[in-house]
């Protein structure tokens, strides 16, 4: 992850966890300081990256749940659903329940199986 600091639309500094470097820039954008990130700075970047992933996962889950509402309405509109449709609905409901539980528990680190 790369974290950049700007002043008056000008890049002032950047910390990059992939390179492990902190860089400070002059007014022309030239590097005037380059040093390894401290353990604390690396931990801060990792925490920020995790927080951004959690926000993205929350948004993804909510988008899925909105789609599931339509899927549920479509299923309920079927006069006589087939066995295959019933099985598909059961699987969808299980995924929906998993997503709702994750949101309720604020467990947003990994949503790959929901």
Kindly report, residue by residue over 100-113, the tens digit of the pLDDT.
888 888 887 777 76
Which range, of 15-19, 53-57, 72-76, 86-90, averages the lowest pLDDT? Answer: 53-57
Q: Over 90: is that where the pLDDT of 15 sits? A: yes
Q: How far apart are CA 39 and CA 25, in angstroms?
A: 22
User: 18 CB contacts (<8 Å, ≥6 apart)?
Assistant: 1, 2
* Cβ count near 17 (within 10 Å): 18
Q: How far apart are CA 104 and CA 87, in angstroms?
A: 26
pLDDT score at 114: 59
User: What mean pLDDT do residues 23-37 have?
Assistant: 95
Q: Over 90: is that where the pLDDT of 56 sits? A: no
Q: How far apart are CA 61 and CA 28, in angstroms?
A: 43
Q: Which residue has the higher pLDDT, 114 or 108?
A: 108
Q: Over 90: is that where the pLDDT of 35 sits? A: yes
Give the confidence band of 96 by pLDDT, cuts at 50, 70, 90: confident
pTM for the model? 0.56
Q: How far apart are CA 76 and CA 36, in angstroms?
A: 59
Q: Over 70: is that where the pLDDT of 32 sits? A: yes
């Amino acid at each position: 992850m790369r974290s950049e600091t700007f002043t008056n639309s000008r890049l002032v500094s950047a910390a990059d966890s992939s390179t492990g470097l902190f860089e400070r820039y002059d007014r022309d954008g030239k590097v005037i300081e380059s040093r390894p990130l401290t353990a604390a700075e690396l931990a801060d970047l990792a925490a920020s990256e995790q927080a951004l992933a959690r926000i993205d996962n929350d948004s993804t889950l909510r988008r899925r749940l909105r789609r599931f509402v339509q899927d549920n309405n479509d299923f309920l509109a079927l006069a006589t659903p087939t066995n295959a449709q019933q099985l598909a609905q059961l699987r969808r409901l299980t995924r929906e329940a998993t997503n709702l539980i994750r949101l309720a528990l604020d467990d947003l680190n990994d949503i790959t199986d929901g």
